[in-house]
Each structure stands twice: as structure tokens, then as C-alpha cells.
Structure 1
Amino acid sequence: MKHLLILLFLSIINISCAQEKNQRLILGEKYAKEVLEETLKNNKVHNVIDNKTPIIKNDSTAIKVAESILFEIYGENNIIKQKPYEIYKIESYYVISGTLPKNYVGGTFLIIINSFNSEIIRITHGK
């Protein structure tokens, strides 16, 4: 009987915890505006971006960042056709461009991303 009561008690706790996990706390637009204003006024607030440690640490992350932007600008099919990409990390920048098949006439994209803060410093597409 004692074990049955303990089992029942644990089951009730488990169900109650599962319900709490499914609920989400929404902070709201007002909070978002306050955080944005604070950050714009004081760039010394807690921030992972410190310009001392890269936040883009490898080629695959740089490509994901580049593709998410390039797909919106030039279309996903257009960019995917330019695989394999050329990617070079030069100093703290990723320089990424598309490639074309030999004897193909046309242009490719070029994007340059700062690895420390993900800033896009150049986007272009040849013709």
C-alpha cells in the first residue's frame, strides 16, 4: 500500500511537471523594445558578441548564415545551382562565392561575413 501511494504521488508530480513544460512564457513586444533601447544605449550590457571571440567558428555555420540571406535576395534555386561554393576564411572574414560549370556564361554571388559579429560587409551577384 505504501509503495502504491508513493507511485501515485510521483505520477501526479510527473503529470503536473509535464503540463508546466508545455506552457511558454511570452515576454512581449514592450519587453523587446526595452531590451533594444537598452542595448543601443549601452553596448556594454551582457552580450556574447565581444569582438574578441568569433561567433561563426566554421565553414558550415558561415554557409548557413550566407544561404539564409542569399536565398531571400536571389532565390534559393539560383543560389543552390552555384554549388559547390568557394569559401575562404581570411583573417576574421569569411569570403564565400558561388561557382559555375566550365564554359558557362553568367555570374555568381559573393558575400563577405565578419566572423566576430556576423556582420555582412558585402553582398553582390555578377551577371
Structure 2
Amino acid sequence: MPRRKISTYILMMFLIPLSLTFAPHHSLAHTYKPPGGYVQSADVAIAIAEVILESIYGEKQIKSEKPLTATLTKEGIWVVKGTLKKNHKGGVAEIWISKEDGTIVNVTHGL
């Protein structure tokens, strides 16, 4: 390798990590988190669930399972479920959403 390429390579090996060290970082300390968590109500949980479930199972399927209901567990997880119509066989969509941070914990659809 020519001497100039080696010098450039060595210089880059030191400059890139050095620049990353002094680059401004976005701090999570400035992130606002509501005291009651991001998903504070059943309405918010259902709205999130609807978007996620429609993207997985399709809008037509999830509309056929409305109304969606949400129940908050003692562990702080919203369990949102579809409704099975009378005289229909099968199951419904179910999604678990963390009240604290909105994490999707589980998604399933009964058979």
C-alpha cells in the first residue's frame, strides 16, 4: 500500500472515533414521560391496538371484530380484544400493550 494511503487510513482510524466522542448525543434525560405512562386510558390502548392489528390481520378482519375492548391488568398491561359475533365460530384478535411505555408485549388471534 502506498505511504500516503497508509497515512490517510491511520488518520481516519483516529479521527472517526474521536469525532464520535465529541459529537452531540441526544440524551434520554430530556424525554418527557407522563406520570401515568404513555397509554393512560382504554381509548388510547384501543386506538393503538386497532392500527397494529389492522396492519397484521387486515382492516376487514378487525372491523368484523369490533367493538374492541380494553382491560388493564394489575401488572400495567392493557389487554385489548376483539368481539366474537353471536353464532360465529373462531377467535378474535388480542394484543397486550404496556401502559408505561406503549411496548407491544404480545399479539395473537384465536382460532
TM-score, normalization: structure 1?
Answer: 0.61
Q: List alignment gaps of at least 5 residues for structure 2.
A: 1-24
Q: Distance in 2 between matches of 1:88 and 1:53?
A: 16
Conservation of the 8 A alpha-carbon contact between 2:46 and 2:69? no
Report percent identity of matched pairs: 33
* Unpaired runs of at least 5, structure 1: 1-37
Q: Post-superposition shift, 1:126?
A: 1.4
Q: What secondary structure, in the 3-state scheme, does the structure 1 residue paired with 2:29 have?
A: coil
2:46 alignment counterpart: 63
Does residue 93 of structure 2 align to residue 109 of structure 1? Answer: yes
- 1:43-82 deviation digits (Å, cap 9, x = unpaired): x4311237x5311111111111111111110001100110
Shift >6 Å, 4+ stretches: none
Tell me which of 75, 79, 87 is aligned to 2:58.
75
Aligned length: 87
Structure 2: how far apart are the matches of 1:77 and 1:125?
14
Could you tell me the TM-score, scaled by structure 2's length? Answer: 0.69
Give the Cα separation in 1 of the matches to 2:68 and 2:60.
Answer: 14
Which protein has greater RCO, CA pairs closer than 8 Å, 6+ apart? 2
Alpha-carbon separation, structure 2, partners of 1:46 and 1:61? 24
